[in-house]
């Protein structure tokens, strides 16, 4: 009787278990499930540097993970609940490396079916280093009436480190400073940025230090004319026809009290002793103590035209009377001949219209006078002789 009851109980237990399995299968079946865009973490990245390697690009990788398990288990799995990783300690050389993706963190009752893609491709390059000078890029203009001296970056050089293919693109390291409307010395820390030959930033390289301190002296400035300084004389029979200089004006800067005393800036002296023809000289400026050029790299180009000395007679048919306003004045024989001397080309082109002959009748009362003839001109010539040098004048 006891055996019979035990058998019935055992059968009942088995039936109950089978019924439970049936209910579970119907209410919470085993199903496949895909979790999309699971981020892949790169591990052991530091091992690359020990091998002299580095990632060419640090981009984000994702995979789709297919699993299988009970509905209630798999539907609660999210991308952030799963750990997907790629071990970069497997990388041994530059170029494209294929690294398998491993999955961790799945619940106990959930099995991994597949990972798509099953591996990722990482582009690896050799680590390169280069020491480069820092170039300060100025943006804007200081306040009117002020000028900047050359900018001084500290440090003057930085180290650029990164993938060799990217480091090779670096042509300059720029520290940009905005100086708009400044009128005092500028001292500022700014980022040092690696750029290519077109001035575009190179991403994926490290500049050390990444900040540089830039100092830019700013002081009062003025615009003054340039005076060429010449000494000596051409060979006998020759004369200086003209002197021209470029630039005609320069901007100088320095102590305001010193600037207030300056009317022009001289060039260094140019010796023309014994010359018989034109000469062009490039010279520096003769700056007073405490004064600098705003553009420190400029020089003066001086053109000196030396020509043969020539003479010529010019006849002037009218003698003006100055200082006789409101009076009736008569000049007897108002014609004079002027002998001039000067550069050959100037003398050859001179005409009577280039000269003014006159006498001065200021403060003279009515009567007859013999007055000295004066001749003026704007030409680069000397008046050698005036004939006659006196004329008769009647004032009424």
Q: Give percent of the chain above pLDDT 70.
A: 93
Per the CB < 8 A criterion, the answer to whether 178 and 139 are in contact is yes
What does the pLDDT read at residue 317? 94
CA 205, CA 146: separation in Å to the nearest integer?
38
DSSP string, 84-110: EEEEGGG--SSEEEEEE-EEE---TT-
* Contact call for residues 38 and 63 (beta carbons, < 8 A): yes
Q: Identify the band that residue 74 occupies on the pLDDT scale cut at 50, 70 and 90.
A: confident
Nearest to 340 by CA among 313, 320, 301: 313
**What local confidence, expressed as pLDDT, does residue 26 receive?**
53
Distance CA 43, CA 123 (A): 15
Q: For residues 130 and 202, is the Cβ–Cβ distance under 8 A?
A: no
pTM for the full predicted model: 0.57
> Cβ neighbours of residue 250 under 8 Å, at least 6 residues apart?
223, 224, 226, 265, 285, 293, 294, 295, 298
Q: Is the peptide bond before 333 cis (omega within 30 degrees of 0)?
A: no
Quote the pLDDT of residue 335: 93
Q: What confidence tens digit (pLDDT) does each residue in 289-314 have? A: 889 898 878 999 999 999 999 999 99
Q: Is the pLDDT of residue 73 over 90?
A: no
Check whether 321 has a pLDDT greater than 60: yes
- Name the nearest CA neighbour of 245 among 230, 262, 223: 230
CA distance 245 to 281: 10
Contact 316, 287 (CB under 8 A): no
Q: What is the pLDDT of residue 6?
A: 65
Q: Which pLDDT value is given to residue 20?
A: 52
Whether 79 shows a pLDDT value over 90: the answer reads no
User: How confident is the model at residue 324, as a pLDDT?
Assistant: 83
Cite the beta strand spans of 228-377 per DSSP E: 230-231, 238-246, 249-254, 265-267, 270-271, 279-283, 285-286, 291-293, 300-316, 319-322, 329-331, 336-343, 355-360, 367-372, 374-377
Answer for the pair 54, 127: CB distance below 8 angstroms, yes or no: yes
Q: Is 23 a residue whose pLDDT tops 90?
A: no
Q: pLDDT band for 121, please (50, 70, 90 cuts).
A: very high
Q: What is the pLDDT of residues 226-267, one digit of tens each?
A: 999 999 999 999 999 999 999 999 999 988 888 889 999 999
pLDDT of residue 108: 86
Model confidence over 353-365: pLDDT tens digits?
999 999 999 989 9
pLDDT of residue 148: 86
- pLDDT, tens only, 137-170: 999 999 988 888 889 999 999 999 999 999 999 9
How confident is the model over 338-395, as pLDDT tens digits?
999 999 999 999 999 999 999 999 989 999 999 999 999 999 999 999 999 999 999 9
pLDDT of residue 167: 96
**pLDDT at residue number 76:** 83
- For 183, the 3-state DSSP assignment is coil
pLDDT tens digit sequence for 271-280: 999 999 999 9
Residue 19 pLDDT grade (very low, low, confident, very high; cuts 50, 70, 90): low
Hey, what domains does the chain have and what are their CATH numbers?
30-117 (2.170.120.30), 127-216 (2.170.120.40), 221-308 (2.170.120.40), 317-395 (2.170.120.30)
* CA gap 63, 61 in Å, rounded: 7
Residue 66 pLDDT = 95
Confidence at residue 109, expressed as pLDDT on a 0 to 100 scale: 87
Mean model confidence pLDDT for the chain: 91
DSSP 319: E
| 3-state SS assignment for residue 25 | helix
């Amino acid at each position: 009787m006891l055996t019979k009851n035990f058998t019935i109980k055992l059968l009942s237990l088995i039936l109950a278990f089978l019924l439970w399995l049936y209910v579970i299968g119907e209410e919470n079946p085993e199903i496949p499930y895909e979790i999309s865009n699971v981020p892949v973490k790169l591990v052991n990245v530091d091992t690359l540097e020990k091998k002299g390697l580095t990632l060419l690009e640090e981009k984000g990788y994702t995979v789709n993970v297919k699993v299988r398990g009970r509905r209630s288990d798999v539907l609660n799995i999210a991308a952030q609940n799963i750990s997907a990783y790629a071990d970069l300690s497997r990388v041994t050389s530059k170029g494209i490396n294929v690294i398998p993706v491993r999955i961790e963190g799945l619940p106990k009752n959930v099995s991994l079916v597949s990972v798509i893609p099953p591996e990722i491709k990482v582009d690896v390059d050799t680590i390169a280093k280069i020491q480069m000078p820092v170039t300060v890029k100025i943006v804007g203009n200081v306040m009117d009436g002020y000028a900047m001296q050359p900018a001084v970056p500290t440090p003057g050089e930085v180290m650029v480190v990164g993938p060799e293919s990217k480091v090779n693109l670096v042509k300059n390291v720029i520290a940009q400073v905005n100086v708009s409307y400044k009128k005092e010395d500028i001292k500022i820390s700014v980022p040092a940025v690696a750029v290519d030959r077109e001035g575009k930033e190179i991403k994926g390289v490290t500049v050390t230090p990444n900040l540089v301190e830039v100092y830019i002296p700013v002081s009062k400035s003025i615009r003054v004319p340039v005076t060429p300084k010449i000494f000596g004389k051409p060979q006998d029979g020759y004369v200086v026809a003209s002197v021209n200089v470029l630039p005609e004006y320069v901007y100088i800067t320095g102590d305001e009290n010193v600037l207030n005393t300056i009317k022009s800036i001289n060039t260094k002296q140019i010796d023309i002793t014994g010359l018989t023809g034109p000469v062009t000289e490039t010279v520096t400026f003769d700056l007073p103590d405490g004064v600098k050029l705003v553009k420190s790299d400029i020089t003066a180009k001086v053109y000196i035209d030396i020509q043969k000395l020539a003479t010529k007679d010019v006849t002037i048919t009218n003698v003006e009377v100055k200082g006789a306003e409101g009076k009736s004045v008569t000049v007897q024989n108002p014609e004079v001949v002027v002998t001039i001397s000067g550069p050959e080309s100037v003398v050859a082109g001179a005409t009577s219209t280039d000269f003014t002959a006159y006498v001065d009748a200021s403060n003279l009362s009515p009567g007859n006078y013999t007055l000295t003839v004066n001749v003026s001109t704007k030409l680069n010539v000397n008046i050698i002789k005036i004939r006659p040098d006196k004329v008769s004048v009647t004032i009424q």
